[in-house]
A and B are shown apart, each in its own frame.
Chain A
Amino acid sequence: MNRAPTAVQRWRRFAVLLVIVLLINFPIILMGLNSLQTTQQLMASRSLWPEMPTLANYFYLSERTNFWRFLTNSMIVSGGATLFGLVAASFAGYALSRYRGRFLTGFSRSLFVVQMFPIILALIPLFILFRNLGLINNPLSVIIVYTVVHLPFATWMARAFFDTIPRELEEAALVDGCSRFGAFIRIVLPLSGPGLAAIAIFSFLFSYNEFFVANVFLKDESTMTLPVGITMFMQQYSTDWGSLMAAATVTVIPTFILFLGIQKYITYGAVSGGVKG
């Protein structure tokens, strides 16, 4: 079975995979096509291919709904969670990469607990706590929870990146009179630029996509993120499939762009970190 496959075999595999990819992504493709038809057109013809493509849904979305507000909120929440997460995860990842000890083992284990934790259990007491602190409808509440939810993944990824940086570099800096923390900030961090960028994009992507936590804490329409805001479309404009499809299509574009930037790092966190520990 190690014989090199013939060209025919390779292209047959290509054709099979192409059909599978199209079938699997059909719901997403269909959504994009549907967004180019008005709700009346959709309801009347139910055709898969838009016969008279129109951008009417997108204009409606931009001018008559809270879409831009939702998008801005999403950016604030995701940006905040990314910033918090990047600091916490790179510090913790560095500690896990360079030090050993009982405290670190305990910390490592608690990351696993966070990974499997039913978030609903945290949301109930946190809802009461945040309400008393006036943090409901405040992006900070969601940012804090996101940071923790993504901490295990981000920390394991950071640790995997720091593991690839030779210790000799820091030791040289120490000899030159640098403090250990200084060596971390001035030598290790700049060298892990691509890794940190990947972690940042991951945290951003997770936060941007998240629905459950945002749905609990962001109740007021002016504070909702995109995923929660879109559910408002489903209720308010229950039959307006055109706008719904357009909103969903625009929502997915940043996700795709960010994902393309990090797709080759995915195995880092998912497999080398999350699974191997």
Chain B
Amino acid sequence: MTTAQNVLPRAAGSWRESARAWIRSGGALPFLLLAPSVILMLTVIAYPIVTGFYYSFTDGSLLKFGRFIGLDNYTELLVSRDFHRAVVFSLVFAAANVAGCYLLGLGLALLMNQEVPGRAFFRVALLLPWIVPSIVSIVSWRWMMADDRALFNQIIGFFGGSPIFFLSDEHWATVAVIVIKIWRSFPFMMLSLLAALQGIDRTLYEAAEIDGATRWQAFRHVTMPQIANISIVLGLLMTIWSVNDFDTPWLLTQGGPANATENLVLLAYRYTFGRNDVGLGSATSFVTLIILMGLVVVMLRRQKGADR
């Protein structure tokens, strides 16, 4: 019946009929299945991109629409010291986090890839820092570095050092934020690398052994090339997530002391919700998006180059 309708369409203008036939024949199903997701993504992603882009050229506040002021927000950003510092901190934070997570994650993944009693338990136990809510991990770490008598300072004192004010010293606050971020995100790296290691063909190692390769040579020439691709993808994902991180710096230091741990997201947040400057906040978050896209392009290019 449906085929008859399709072969002999009614007169032009009865598009409703043909739409109904399309739905009945099942051709519309993939689009209908995607509809809820597409509508949600249009609301939460597409609409804000367009509106936010417009806001970044205005001087509006959260309470009233602003006037169009051209590129003023962007030029203000480019000469602002806060912005320079935020860009540098975002990049340092991301680089340190990716490097730290990779070393820790790969080391633990190699350890977990061996035969060891209770492996299932260890796998779960090592993932805990990753699944604990951000607020919980920050509360627990804060206690250990809160003041001059906190645990870390007791340990430092035991070895004869003078107390470090982790949260009020600019350099130590930066270190603290990075260490906690590594602690919170290395399990994802470990888990993914472990999956990659387990996917490596065992016969490659047997062949290497027959050729007389040492353990290090087997690692260097069999393991590393096999996990190179996934490493790049993981590095990319982690870079993006680090640049986008709000919780770790905000909950630990609120960007302080003296804005030393303020990344681009915190800066955009402060401009928008602290200074009530929607234009400048939107411009800052657009620059964040552009930096992220730049990083993605550069890293994908390097990956292509490595493949050749």
Chain A residues at the B interface, C-beta cutoff of 8 Å: 1-2, 4-5, 10-11, 13-14, 16-18, 20-21, 24-25, 27-28, 30-31, 34, 46, 48, 84, 87-89, 91-92, 94-95, 98-99, 101, 103-104, 107, 110, 113-129, 131, 144-145, 147-149, 151, 155, 179-181, 205, 208-209, 211-212, 216, 226-227, 230-231, 234, 241, 244-245, 248, 251-252, 255-256, 259-260, 263, 266-267, 270-271, 274-275
Contacts and interface: CB of A to CB of B under 8 A. Distances in A.
A209 B135 CA distance: 8
Contact of A209 (B133, B154, B269): B133
Interface of B: 26, 29-38, 40-41, 43-45, 47-49, 51-52, 55, 62, 108, 111-112, 114-118, 122-129, 131-137, 139-141, 143-144, 149-151, 154, 183, 188, 191-192, 195-196, 202, 205-206, 209, 215, 218, 230, 233-234, 237, 240, 243-244, 246-247, 250-251, 265, 268-269, 272-273, 278, 281-282, 285-286, 288-289, 292, 296
A180 B29 contact: yes
Given A1-B205, A118-B265, A263-B124, A124 B133 contact: no
A251 B133 contact: yes
Give the 7 A-B residue pairs with the shortest CB-CB distance, closest first: A27-B140, A31-B140, A209-B133, A125-B51, A95-B33, A148-B44, A121-B285
Contacts, number: 266
B10 to A, nearest CB: 23
A10 B137 contact: no
B143 A274 contact: no
29 contacts: A13-B115, A14-B116, A14-B117, A17-B112, A20-B108, A24-B183, A25-B125, A28-B129, A28-B136, A30-B143, A31-B139, A46-B150, A84-B40, A103-B30, A114-B45, A120-B246, A121-B288, A124-B272, A124-B281, A125-B282, A126-B48, A181-B29, A205-B131, A209-B133, A211-B134, A211-B135, A231-B251, A251-B136, A275-B237
A135 to B, nearest CB: 12
A58 B11 CA distance: 74
Interface majority SS (helix, strand, loop, mixed), chain A: helix
Contacts of B288: 118, 120-121
Contacts of A21: 122, 125-126
Given A24-B183, A114-B45, 14 more contacts: A17-B116, A24-B126, A92-B36, A94-B33, A121-B268, A124-B285, A128-B278, A179-B26, A181-B32, A230-B139, A231-B251, A255-B136, A266-B191, A275-B233
A125 B114 contact: no
Contacts of B183: 24, 27
Contacts of A124: 48, 52, 55, 268, 272, 278, 281-282, 285
A94 B195 CA distance: 25
